[in-house]
Structure formats: C-alpha cells, structure tokens
Amino acid sequence: MKKTMAFLRSMKFGIILLGLIVVLSVIGSVIPQNSEAMVYVRAYPDFYEWIFRLQLNDIFNAWYFNIVTILLCINLILCSIVRFTKIPSQKQEEERAMHAKTAVSLSAAQRQEVIAELERMHCHKTEKDGVSVYAKNRIGYYGTFLTHLGILLTVIFWAAAMKLPTVIDRTCYPEESIFLDDGTEIYVRDFSITDAEGKLDYKSQIEIALADGRTSGPVETSVNHPASFGNYKVYQQTYGTAPRVAVSDDAGHTDLFYLEPNDILSADGKNGIVFDNLYPDFTEEDGHMRLVTSTSGRYENPVYVFTTLENGQQQEVMLAFPGDCMEIGKFTFCFQDPVEYPGLRIKHSPGWVNIALLCAFMVMTLGLYITFFMQSVLVRADHEGYTLLSAKSEGLQIRFRQITGGGSEHA
C-alpha cells in the first residue's frame, strides 16, 4: 500500500500523466471534434472507423481521457498534501538552527563580513545563548505547494470548462440570424465553401450581439478556429446547400421559398409542384443526361428535379436549372441559384469558469515565482563560524564562498 501511494504521488507518475494529456490534446486539436459523421468519412476515408472506435471525434469526453485527468488530480492532491505537511513552523526552524553544528569555521573578520551580508539582506535575527539565527523569505517554503495547488486547480477548472458549457447546433442562411434563449443574436453575414484559389475552405462571417448590448462586430469562424465573444464560442461545424424557388402570382406578389425533398408548393393543394431533390451536377453521354448524386464543395451545375401538380394529379417528372421559370395556373415558379449555408456549433460557458481558471493560473504562476525568486534563507552563526541550513540558497552560498575563500557548506 505504501509503495502504491508513493508511486501515485511521485513526480515521475505526474509527468507521465501530463505527457498523456498533452498528446491527447494535440490529437484533439488536429482532428475536428464533435462534427457530423460524414465530415470524418470525407476527411479521413482510410481510418475514420478507428476515429469512431477510439472516440477521437470526442476525445475530451472519452473514458480514457477522463481517467487520465482523474489520476492527475489524485497525483496533484497527494503531492500538495505531502508538501504542505512538510512545511516547518517558525519555531521548528529556530530549534533546528539552534541545535545545528557549525559547518564552516571563520575568523573574526570573516564572521563580521558574513553577518554584515546577512544584515544587508534584511534577514530577521533571533539570538539565544550566544547563537544567532538569521531567517528570510519564509514564504519560500510554500513555493512548491502553491505550484502544485495551482496546477491542480487549473486541471479541475479546465475540466469544468470542457464539461459545463451548453452546446447548441444550428443552421442559418446567410443574411439571417439565430436567436438564443438569453436574447443573444448570431447574425450570419456570409458563408463560403472555397477560398480565392478554389480550394475547399469552409468559413462563416458572423456577428454576435449579446443581450447586454455588446456586439462583436464582423468575425470569422472556420474549422478548428472558432469565433469567441463574451461567454460564447461559435464553431464552423458543417454546411449545406438549400434549393430556392421564387413564386409570383398574377398580381405581381413574389415569395421566396427554401425547399426540402417532398415539399409541395401550391396555393390550393391541387396545382403547383412537388419538389423531389436538388442535384449538384450532371454529365452527358450519348445524348443522355446523367445526374451526379454526390459532391463535396460547391454545386457547380445544380439541377432541380420536381413533378408538376395539376388538378390534384401529379404529372410528369421535370428538370430545371437556375433561372428557368414555368407557369402553373395563376402562379409562376422561378428556380433560383441554391444558397450555401453553414451549420454552426454554439458553445456557452458559465462566466465563473473562465475567472476561476484565470485565478488558478495566477496561483500556479505565483508558486513558480516564489519557488525560483523568493528562496528561503536560514543561517546559524556563532563565535566559531556559521551553518547554512537553506539548501536551495545558491546565491547565498556563492556569496559566502567569496567571503571565506572556500567552499560553503550547509546542514
């Protein structure tokens, strides 16, 4: 049991766990997280099955990542407890110093120079029975404890930041808005599938307006590069292409409709069209048209497939291209260029999590500063010489070595 506890709180075990978290985090940064299944099938055709089996598409919620995080917390808790219990009290320090043996013998002149150096450092002096104890920076004993505590709190609040946010998946057409329950509005200014060179590059131009009136202004979100504002992060998750038909009546009124398969556009239920599907492209072979049923990226030559509806009866299957119009009864149906739209993942984190995470990081930074720049000083001096009891006071050892002209020692 003792060996198990010693291993759980050891630095070696902690470094192994930190290394595993770093490796898993890098994988989670390279592979898009929580996207639709087809995103992985298209991007990783050779090993997408392993991505699903190993939960690499949601690695930060995978069982093995949770186990590593819990073990790291246990390691840091045990380390913090051990280091805190080993911090000596001021009385224990003085007792240890008073009963220490003289490590370095000095001449009277050297002794005066050593004492002058300690006084120049503004060390606190305690004197008893001809023995003087000089101490400074007791806070230095808390450096490693605060460092481990800061790392522990950082891991805990980082885990909270990963687990607590609410996640909403929404689609939105360009120049339209998503309204959230708390009054936040996310306006989609524009969406593009390809960059200026024609390469696939899914990006949304959005604007976030919080309920308190603050606005982000135009910001860009793309795969693995979310837009952040307030307590929100907006991810570019997926995309779609929506067919559109403008319907005009004989009075000149026009309405624009976005279509889904099997939608019926009719004013009386008897005359109109039954929309079948939108195909991204077509080919011609021997005078026959063949519809392309799958694509990635833009719809280069979109083809509308629909059936006319006359007097309640479906007529022949027809094809149309953007710009084509046809009259059915009192209405004119004009097929428009389809519109590309983004699928956004909206993540909202509780405000206190980010503040707590910042505080934890500050505790860790403070611990590191104390450890390296506020090392404790504890020196015993009597008429024979001195003993340096602060093993980590390298600078003081060097200074004493210069004074004595030899090697400084500590107990």
What CATH number is attached to the domain comprising 107?
3.30.310
pLDDT band at 150 (very low <50, low <70, confident <90, very high): very high
pLDDT at 198 over 80: no
Q: Within this chain, do residues 185 and 200 fall inside the same structural domain, yes or no?
A: yes
Query: In this structure, how many other beta carbons lie within 10 angstroms of the beta carbon of residue 338?
Result: 20
31-to-25, 47, 168, 236 alpha-carbon distances in Å = 10, 12, 20, 14
pLDDT of residue 154: 92
pLDDT for 313-331, tens place per residue? Answer: 888 889 999 999 998 878 8
Residue 367, both tokens: 């611990």
pLDDT at 1 over 80: no
Cross-strand pairs, 344: 170, 236
Residue 142, both tokens: 């808390």
Q: Within this chain, do residues 206 and 183 fall inside the same structural domain, yes or no?
A: yes
Structural domain total, the chain: 4
For 384, the domain range is: 90-137+375-404
Q: Within this chain, do residues 346 and 268 fall inside the same structural domain, yes or no?
A: no
- Structural domain ending residue among the three candidates 77, 109, 129: 77
Residue 243: phi and psi, rounded to 5, are -75, 150
3-state secondary structure of 240: strand
Is residue 366, in this structure, part of any structural domain at all? no
Q: Within this chain, do residues 327 and 255 fall inside the same structural domain, yes or no?
A: yes
Q: Within this chain, do residues 20 and 67 fall inside the same structural domain, yes or no?
A: yes
User: Percentage of residues in the chain with pLDDT exceeding 90?
Assistant: 43
Q: Within this chain, do residues 346 and 394 fall inside the same structural domain, yes or no?
A: no
pLDDT at 61 over 70: yes
Whole-structure pTM value? 0.64
Is residue 83, in this structure, part of any structural domain at all? no
Q: Within this chain, do residues 230 and 256 fall inside the same structural domain, yes or no?
A: no
Q: Within this chain, do residues 263 and 332 fall inside the same structural domain, yes or no?
A: yes
Is residue 157, in this structure, part of any structural domain at all? no
**CB-CB contact of 76 with 360 (8 Å):** no
pLDDT of residue 374: 87
pLDDT band at 408 (very low <50, low <70, confident <90, very high): very low
